[in-house]
Chain A
């Protein structure tokens, strides 16, 4: 950036439209000097630059308008304040104009409108183009970032602060063109949440990848399951085929052995019958013995009972004896030979026989009663005996029938057994047939189940594949994102390595440059070093040890000049080298030459230092614009004389603090 001119209108002390102030753009005679006494408006020029570019001012906004103009404004009239800077940046000429309108709205009230920034530039074909209003601020920051502006438009009276500012680091980086790379590096830094890399990472659908992997596993499992099921289906089909063949074989065997089967069934039936008859026979045998034993005595008694009954019937003294009469009573009567009726028994034989007869009727038992009972028993037995005979006869008939039956069954059994071939077990074949039928049914059921499972698994696979297809879109996006992340990380690493290397080199070169300038400005046992925050630290060599030392005001000026000059020198060197302050061409960095616009730079320096500084500054900067007081100019002039291309003097009109003009001397 090289400043070609500045135009002022009603800006602070500069009342009305000022003549255009042109600055030296000569490469050799690159110095423009503006002389002025205190309060004449030197600092105002610096402020004009800053106000125009950044609307930055150390005064109240409404004070931007010239006081006299403001005071003389008629009611409801307006005045404009503007500053217009023409500069060249990257070989393109820009016209930057900031205008602010003031209107007197009341007797003692001036309404201030918002300032308007306009930028125009010349195209390569010579056409004038306007920068859109919304792009104006950006455009200026691209030309000279506001943060850097203090280093190039600086107030010498405040030079002490120049190296202690917090934004030194940003300033140095910006100046050296590292800011773009730094910014790029920061934007790619994966550790920063707002970085591009982090944004890519956030866009990654990690869940879908996990799901996709799971689905792929599921798919593999389902496909394996399907294979197994298909194998099992084939096996089941083979088995069914086998059992169907076996069924046919067994059916054929059963048919072929139908007679054999009948005979075997018959034999089985006969075996059962025989067992039953044998059991019956055993029962009858037991019964025969039991009935014969129990009833035998009465049966064999029958003919004797008839005889006994006849004996009883034939007996003379059937009848009952005298109740309660006992044989000894009869014996007593017979012994006294006198009956109870008084009859002499020794003389009456008939009476005696009657008594003897009565005696026979007497106990040991009442024979008449006993005989009558016996007769009853005998008659009952005679009746029952027929029953025994019938029982024996029935037993006998049943026994014989059963035995005949048994014989018949046994014969039949022999016949059937003779017909049975023996080694063919038809029942076993039938059992096998039934067993085969059951197995066949089981296998068919199994086949149905397997087929159903296969269907289900195929549907499951189709479903998974569909889902995977859906997820593949996401997955492709993830793949692209991963590539982007990998690229951005690689670019970040590349930038970081390059950046670190360049920053290191920048620091080294800056230190070297600053030290060179410092040595030229200051003669003593001191040098400077630069810390991580790009701050200059003065070091004193004491017994070969470097120690940090305090600074005098003058020394501080020298130190800070050295720093600024060092910066500008570095930037200039870099500009001359083209792209790349370092030899590393991996990372393209850009920088522009910058002007050094200084207000009262020598205010705290002594004569020697003024000379030194004056000598060095034009060598370092592409363009130097100095606002100096006459008293300082005397010391600086010898060193700068040959470098001056333009010289102006600020004059106070009527010694007023509110009306100055700038007159060109050279």
Chain B
């Protein structure tokens, strides 16, 4: 798990290119928010946002754009990706599983390929949902570098307010 390249397609490839600062390193004239250093950091974060806002999205085939996150980058962030994956598996309520089943899904199905395909599919659906959310919020009303950077705080703050982060004791949040 999380040990090989991952290919993003269509608008998600476009969005991840918009968000990743790597794009500007590859092309100085590229336009974008460039608020996250590496695409792999979006890849491991976006599923959490997608799940938080309960936003799944299928692979996009509207455009031919594609973006590959290379294997070495994925392996370099393997621990974080494992963390994100298991958290999504535990916190997702979309399939009506019991808590025990969620725990099973999170921890006991790594060696069960068929289940893993479903699980990863779920992870990636949230991932695409998260990318869309990030794209939408960063591109909303922002055109300059300053706008995009201002957006970092706005988005963090929005997320904090949306989920009331910091106002609860540990474990008291529903």
What are the residues of chain A within 8 A of B168 when measuring CB–CB? Answer: 306
Q: A364 and B111: CB pair below 8 A?
A: yes
Stretch at the interface among B8-16, B64-72, B113-121, B156-164: B156-164
B147 to chain A, nearest CB (A): 11
Contact of A297 among B35, B48, B93 (CB under 8 A): B48
The answer to whether B37 has its CB under 8 Å from any CB of chain A is yes
Q: B153 and A396: CB pair below 8 A?
A: yes
The answer to whether A288 has its CB under 8 Å from any CB of chain B is yes
B158 to chain A, nearest CB (A): 11
What are the residues of chain A within 8 A of B173 when measuring CB–CB? Answer: 303, 306-307
The answer to whether A152 has its CB under 8 Å from any CB of chain B is no
Q: A317 and B146: CB pair below 8 A?
A: no
A302 to B163, CA, bound (A): 8
A655 to chain B, nearest CB (A): 170
Q: In residues 130-172 of chain B, which contact A (Cβ within 8 Å)?
A: 130, 145-146, 149-150, 152-153, 156-157, 159-160, 163, 165-166, 168, 170-172
What are the residues of chain B within 8 A of A399 when measuring CB–CB? Answer: 149-150
The answer to whether B84 has its CB under 8 Å from any CB of chain A is yes
What are the residues of chain B within 8 A of A395 when measuring CB–CB? Answer: 152-153
A367 to chain B, nearest CB (A): 6
Contact of A304 among B38, B48, B172 (CB under 8 A): B48
Q: In residues 275-334 of chain A, which contact B (Cβ within 8 Å)?
A: 285, 288-290, 292-294, 296-297, 299-317
Bitwise interface map of B from 32 to 64 toward A, beta carbon under 8 Å scored 1, else 0: 001111100100110011011000000000000
B162 to chain A, nearest CB (A): 8
A285 to B35, CA, bound (A): 9
Q: B107 and A293: CB pair below 8 A?
A: no
When C-beta atoms are compared, the residue in chain A nearest to B172 turns out to be A306
A435 to B160, CA, bound (A): 64
- Chain B CB count within 10 A is highest, among A305, A379, A385, for A305
Q: B165 and A389: CB pair below 8 A?
A: yes
Bitwise interface map of A from 106 to 149 toward B, beta carbon under 8 Å scored 1, else 0: 00000000000000000000000000000000000000000000
A312 to chain B, nearest CB (A): 7
The answer to whether B21 has its CB under 8 Å from any CB of chain A is yes
A379 to B174, CA, bound (A): 15
Q: A290-B37, A292-B152, A306-B173 are in contact. Are A301 and B165 (CB under 8 A)?
A: no
Q: B99 and A299: CB pair below 8 A?
A: no
When C-beta atoms are compared, the residue in chain A nearest to B99 turns out to be A314
The answer to whether A553 has its CB under 8 Å from any CB of chain B is no
Q: A364 and B45: CB pair below 8 A?
A: no
Bitwise interface map of A from 362 to 373 toward B, beta carbon under 8 Å scored 1, else 0: 001101001100
The answer to whether B122 has its CB under 8 Å from any CB of chain A is no
Q: A289 and B34: CB pair below 8 A?
A: yes
Contact of B86 among A306, A374, A388, A400 (CB under 8 A): A374
The answer to whether A382 has its CB under 8 Å from any CB of chain B is yes
Q: In residues 379-394 of chain A, which contact B (Cβ within 8 Å)?
A: 379, 382-383, 385-386, 388-389, 392-393
A364 to B52, CA, bound (A): 29
Contact of A301 among B87, B93, B103, B111 (CB under 8 A): B87
Q: B166 and A389: CB pair below 8 A?
A: yes
Contact of B48 among A300, A315, A364 (CB under 8 A): A300
Q: B160 and A389: CB pair below 8 A?
A: yes
A390 to B49, CA, bound (A): 19
Q: A293-B36, A296-B36, A316-B100 are in contact. Are A309 and B149 (CB under 8 A)?
A: no
Q: B103 and A311: CB pair below 8 A?
A: yes
What are the residues of chain B within 8 A of A389 when measuring CB–CB? Answer: 156-157, 160, 165-166
The answer to whether B4 has its CB under 8 Å from any CB of chain A is no
Q: A285 and B99: CB pair below 8 A?
A: no
Q: List 15 A-B contacts (CB under 8 A).
A: A292-B152, A293-B35, A297-B80, A297-B84, A299-B165, A302-B163, A304-B51, A305-B91, A308-B87, A311-B91, A312-B90, A314-B99, A364-B107, A364-B111, A382-B170
B contact set with A: CB distance below 8 Å: 21, 34-38, 41, 44-45, 48-49, 51-52, 80, 83-84, 86-88, 90-91, 93, 99-100, 102-103, 107-108, 110-111, 130, 145-146, 149-150, 152-153, 156-157, 159-160, 163, 165-166, 168, 170-174
The 10 A-B pairs at the shortest CB distance, nearest first, are namely A396-B153, A306-B173, A308-B90, A314-B99, A303-B163, A307-B91, A304-B91, A293-B37, A300-B48, A297-B45
Known: A293-B35, A304-B87, A312-B90. 15 other contacts (CB 8 A): A293-B37, A293-B41, A297-B84, A299-B156, A300-B45, A300-B159, A304-B91, A306-B173, A307-B91, A308-B87, A308-B90, A315-B100, A364-B107, A395-B153, A396-B153
A contact set with B: CB distance below 8 Å: 285, 288-290, 292-294, 296-297, 299-317, 364-365, 367, 370-371, 374, 377, 379, 382-383, 385-386, 388-389, 392-393, 395-396, 399-400, 403
